[in-house]
Amino acid sequence: MNETPAGRPTLETVARAAGASRATVSRVVNGSTTVRADVAESIRRAIADLGYVPNPAARSLVTQRTDSIALILPESATRVFSDDAFFPGVIRGVGEVLEKADKQLVLLLASTRSSHDRILRYVHSRTVDGVVLASMHGADTLPEELRAAGVPVVTSGRPLGEATVPFIDVEHASGVAAAMNHLVGLGRRRIATIAGPQDMVAGRERLAGYLSGLQALPGAVPLVEEGDFMRQSGIDAMERLLQRDPGIDAVFAASDLMADGALRTLRRLGRRVPDDVAVIGFDDVDAARFTDPPLTTVQQPIHEIGTRLAEQILRLVAGEEVAASVVLPTRLVIRESA
């Protein structure tokens, strides 16, 4: 009914309605204390009456801030995305913290090769104050390029090469060590592993953990098959492992999904878990409680990875210093599969 004559109200509109100047209204909007109480009150009323909301574009034009943070999920991440609770969990964690800080979350799904340049252009345009880069394959050049562009960056997972930007990671090694100790303590002697992709740090570190855990068993030979962290690859890898050595009595899988796959293959081939073969996974996704039998696994704090990423980037954006790395603990959750 009451059609606004000239679109949305601006600072000017509010100022006129409240009988104040644009500058004073701006002070009230931004919470300055140097405004007399009664003036501030009448301005606030005018704002409410008119339904005034500041125009962020105009604001960032002058402040050079946008109050938004990009979360970049590279192709490898989005592929896993649909079958894994890891990235949804990280997104929730990041989103939660950013919401509290009143920052926006811009999602950049880098689905194709050409996305690289698109992302770089986007970041160069300063539409975001900072970037959270989720788990990349290998020696990705993106973090370094972003850093070079002068934008605050935090990555999830230690990069393969030298780390040039702050990162959040988890203690892969000690988690896997706990898993291996557990298996050895259970009396298992022929322990195989289903490793993750070796162009990802998580894949490599978990394999390294397996190999060093194996040293507790004099004379034990490594038995490794590689998967891609997803379920089907666990199913296949387990088959290959059993072909290579039918006497395997334990398996450490570098992800819960692959562990679940292994469980299926073992069941199909008549092996009892944990009696014949003990199985341990990594991640502790929700589904791990529901495998058959429930999965013993190395838990990593997925949600906390997200919150920490967000906290670090907010700190960087605010110009504060942050630790070059934060490594979160993992712990072995013992259920029934080992």
Binding-site ranges for DNA (CB under 7 A): 7-8, 10-12, 19-24, 26-27, 29-30, 34-36, 39-40, 52, 54-55, 58-59, 61-63
Q: According to CB under 8 A, which one of 10, 104, 174, 325 is a site residue for its own copies?
A: 104
Q: Which does 39 bind (CB under 5 to 8 A by kind): DNA, its own copies, none?
A: DNA
The one among 50, 122, 220, 335 contacting its own copies by CB under 8 A: 122
> From residue 275 to residue 314, what is the string marking binding to its own copies with x (rule CB under 8 A)?
-----------xx--x-x----------------------
DSSP per residue, 267-296: HHTT--TTTT-EEEEEE--GGGGGSSSPPE
# of chain residues touching its own copies (CB under 8 A): 51
Coil, helix or strand at residue 171: coil
Question: Binding partner of residue 20 among its own copies, DNA, none, CB under 5 to 8 Å per kind?
Answer: DNA
Residues in region 130-189 near its own copies by CB under 8 A: none
Per CB under 8 A, 26 contacts its own copies = no
Query: Interface with its own copies includes 57 (CB under 8 A)?
Result: yes
Q: Which is nearer to its own copies, 142 or 178 (CB)?
A: 142
Compute the distance between CA of residue 130 and CA of residue 30 in angstroms, rounded to an integer.
22
Q: Residue 116 burial by CB count (10 A; 0-12/13-18/19+): exposed, middle or buried? A: middle
Could you say whether residue 264 binds its own copies (CB under 8 A)?
yes
The torsion of the CA quartet 230, 236, 239, 240, rounded to 10 degrees, works out to -110
Distance CA 167, CA 174 (A): 18
Interaction partner, residue 24 (DNA, its own copies, none; CB < 5-8 Å by kind): DNA
Q: Which is nearer to its own copies, 87 or 210 (CB)?
A: 87
CB 178, min distance to its own copies, A: 24
Query: What residues contact 156, with CB distance under 8 A and at least 6 apart?
Result: 90, 132, 133, 134, 135, 167, 168, 169, 305, 309
Question: DSSP of 69-137, one letter per residue?
Answer: EEEEEEHHHHHHHTT-SHHHHHHHHHHHHHHHTT-EEEEEEE-STTHHHHHHHHHHTT-SSEEEE----
List the structure tokens of 122. Answer: 């986007």
Q: Are 172 and 330 in contact (CB under 8 A)?
A: yes
Q: In angstroms, what is the minimal distance from the CB of 64 to DNA?
A: 8
92, 147, 189, 190: residue in contact with its own copies (rule CB under 8 A): 92
Q: Quote the tokens at residue 72.
A: 């970049």
Angle between helices 86-100 and 302-317 (to 10 degrees): 40
The amino acid at residue 95 is G
Question: Binding of its own copies at residue 194 (CB under 8 A)?
Answer: no
Q: Which is nearer to DNA, 11 or 192 (CB)?
A: 11
Which residues of this chain interact with its own copies, rule CB under 8 A?
8, 51, 53-58, 60-61, 66, 68, 71, 78, 81-83, 85, 87-89, 91-92, 95-96, 99, 104-109, 111-112, 115, 118, 121-122, 124-127, 231, 260-261, 264, 267, 286-287, 290, 292
